């Protein structure tokens, strides 16, 4: 397996497990093992939420649904503890093809806020903010069969996923593979002054090598939110072979090793 080496701490910010996402191909434990082997410092499990492509039975009572939804994360965390991989929790909400990455909240917050299930985009933003979290627009310009139209909500997001490695990967959600989706996302973020994130949108143990590089380890998800909003990332990875993209305004160089 290729090992990606960078000058800093490499984090995956967007990935899925088979326990939580119907499109996930590998379990949380298998995903964590693959990321550990690939040289990542940590991962954020972002399975598809209630009205997204969830793998969890929507007829379950809310508590049971949340507990089942978190299994991929929990299994990944257990494996990560064995391998020295930091595993953090988030989710990807879905609104008829438009998707948002929610960071900074946890299982207990979900259990206490069943209203998030049926929240509108605006209500989601308010609830997440009240809880101290952050909303990031995932792959805002992707074109795919499940995305009926591109819809932007600059008033209801804190950040933009400026790089999504799956956009350039054959056989992934974006059809055809297109780096232009990332270019448009970066331009959108710059236009509105949003900080950018980068992730792989990975659904299997085949490494796409997207992610963010920081100068220090993330303490917890609240710390990650602060780091994103304060633009502490030193590199954003676009996932292409040998490709490491610099975060706007920084001048550090990274390296890759095959």
Handedness of CA 36, 39, 11, 187 (dihedral sign): negative
Residue 41's CB is within 10 A of a number of other CB atoms, namely 21
Q: Which of 24, 9, 27 is nearest to 166 (CA)?
A: 24
pLDDT in tens, the chain (258 residues): 456 678 899 999 999 999 999 999 999 999 999 999 999 999 999 999 999 999 999 999 999 999 999 999 999 999 999 999 999 999 999 999 999 999 999 999 999 999 999 999 999 999 999 999 999 999 999 988 888 899 999 999 999 999 999 987 754 555 555 788 999 999 999 999 999 999 999 999 999 999 999 999 999 999 999 999 999 999 999 886 545 555 444 333 333 322
Supply the pTM of this predicted model.
0.91
91-120: per-residue pLDDT in tens? 999 999 999 999 999 999 999 999 999 999
């Amino acid at each position: 397996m290729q090992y990606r080496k960078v000058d800093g701490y490499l984090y995956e910010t967007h990935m899925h497990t088979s326990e939580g996402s119907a499109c996930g191909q590998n379990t949380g434990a298998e995903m964590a093992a693959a990321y550990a082997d690939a040289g990542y410092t940590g991962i954020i499990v972002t399975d598809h939420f209630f009205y997204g492509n969830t793998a969890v039975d929507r007829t379950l009572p809310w508590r049971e649904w949340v507990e089942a939804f978190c299994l991929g994360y929990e299994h990944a965390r257990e494996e990560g503890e064995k391998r020295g991989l930091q595993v953090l929790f988030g989710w990807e909400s879905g609104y008829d093809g438009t998707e948002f990455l929610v960071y900074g909240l946890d299982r207990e917050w979900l259990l206490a806020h069943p209203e998030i299930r049926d929240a509108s985009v605006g209500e989601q933003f308010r609830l997440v903010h009240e809880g101290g979290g952050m909303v990031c627009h995932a792959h805002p310009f992707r074109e795919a069969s499940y995305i009926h139209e591109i819809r932007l909500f600059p008033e209801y997001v804190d950040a933009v996923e400026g790089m999504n490695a799956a956009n350039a990967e054959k056989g992934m959600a974006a059809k055809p593979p297109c780096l232009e989706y990332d270019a448009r996302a970066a331009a959108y973020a710059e236009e509105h002054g949003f900080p950018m994130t980068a992730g792989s949108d990975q659904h299997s143990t085949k490494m796409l090598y997207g992610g963010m590089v920081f100068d220090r380890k993330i303490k917890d998800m609240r710390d990650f939110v602060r780091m994103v909003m304060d633009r502490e990332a030193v590199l954003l990875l676009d996932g292409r072979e040998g490709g490491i993209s610099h975060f706007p305004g920084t001048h550090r160089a990274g390296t890759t090793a095959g």
